[in-house]
Amino acid sequence: MAQNDQNETVKLIGTWSSPFALRARVALHLKSVKYEYLDEPDVLNAKSELLIKSNPIHKKVPVLIHGDVSICESLNIVQYVDEAWPSVPSILPSHPYDRANARFWAQYVDDKVFASLDAVGGAKDDEGRMAAAGKLMECLATLEEAFQKSSKGLGFFGGENLGFLDIACGTILGPVSVIEAFSGVKFLRQETTPGLIQWAEKFKAHEAVKPYMPTAEEFLAFAKKKFGVE
């Protein structure tokens, strides 16, 4: 990667399994920012002093450290990177409406899609699991509609190039693959989400994503270890 535009050192605190840390890494790669990656190997049980100091409110990854300031929360980090290094390519759309629309759907992913994923994974019985699965399918169908409108027939939510909404939505792919493996239910289906299926393959193969995104098998192995499942 090329040297960043500013003299301040850049560090990113993350963990390999975090889909939210992935957002920050993709954004930094797109902007060719040189940075030091600081992995939190046991973020579920033990947190480093630097993480607690840098994000004292939530104590969560990712955290971007730029010079003497810390930026927390993944979508906030992506927007900061886009503005702090204003070189091409732009991550957020240039038109105010398109920027607002991208932010809206990114928040939809965090508020609705992840809530549905958590509900499926945390269901106590088959009835609750079926209800949660139905809600997740509704959310993904809604996201499919958003993709069809935003992509304008091209490969990414942002059109020809990977952008803000692609980075936001890409975080669901690992968790979806885990939920599919545990439940035996396919949530990304050709008959309901054909656009998302094609988009997912392009996203995972993108040069700014591939080096940092774990495989479905790696996500599944991590989830089994996390929840004590053989």
pLDDT recorded at residue 228: 67
Average pLDDT rounded to a whole number, residues 12-29: 96
Q: Which residue has the higher pLDDT, 139 or 226?
A: 139
- Residue 22 pLDDT exceeds 70: yes
CA 7 to mean position of chain CA atoms: 28
- Residue 53 pLDDT exceeds 80: yes
pLDDT recorded at residue 230: 59
Q: Which residue has the higher pLDDT, 5 or 157?
A: 157
Position 2 confidence tier, pLDDT thresholds 50, 70, 90: very low
CA distance 101 to 165: 9
pTM of the model: 0.92
Q: 93-107: per-residue pLDDT in tens?
A: 999 999 999 999 999
pLDDT recorded at residue 100: 96
Domain locations along the chain: 10-84, 96-227
User: Does the 96-227 domain belong in CATH 1.20.1050.10?
Assistant: yes
pLDDT recorded at residue 3: 40
Average of per-residue pLDDT values in the chain: 92
What's the number of CA atoms in the CB half-sphere (13 Å) around residue 183?
Answer: 28
Q: Which of 14, 166, 159, 7 minimizes the C-alpha distance to 84?
A: 7
Percentage of residues in the chain having pLDDT higher than 70: 93
- Residue 56 pLDDT exceeds 70: yes
Average pLDDT rounded to a whole number, residues 183-194: 93
Q: 143-170: per-residue pLDDT in tens?
A: 999 999 999 999 999 899 999 999 999 9
Q: Do domains 10-84 and 96-227 have the same CATH topology?
A: no
- Residue 19 pLDDT exceeds 80: yes
CA distance 175 to 220: 9
Q: Backbone phi, then psi, for 224, in 5-degree steps?
A: -65, -40
Architecture per CATH, domain 10-84, reads as 3-Layer(aba) Sandwich (3.40)
pLDDT recorded at residue 5: 46
- Residue 227 pLDDT exceeds 90: no
Q: Backbone phi, then psi, for 70, in 5-degree steps?
A: -120, 135
Average pLDDT rounded to a whole number, residues 116-121: 92
- Residue 139 pLDDT exceeds 50: yes
For residue 44, count other CB atoms closer than 10 A to its CB.
Answer: 9
- Residue 6 pLDDT exceeds 60: no
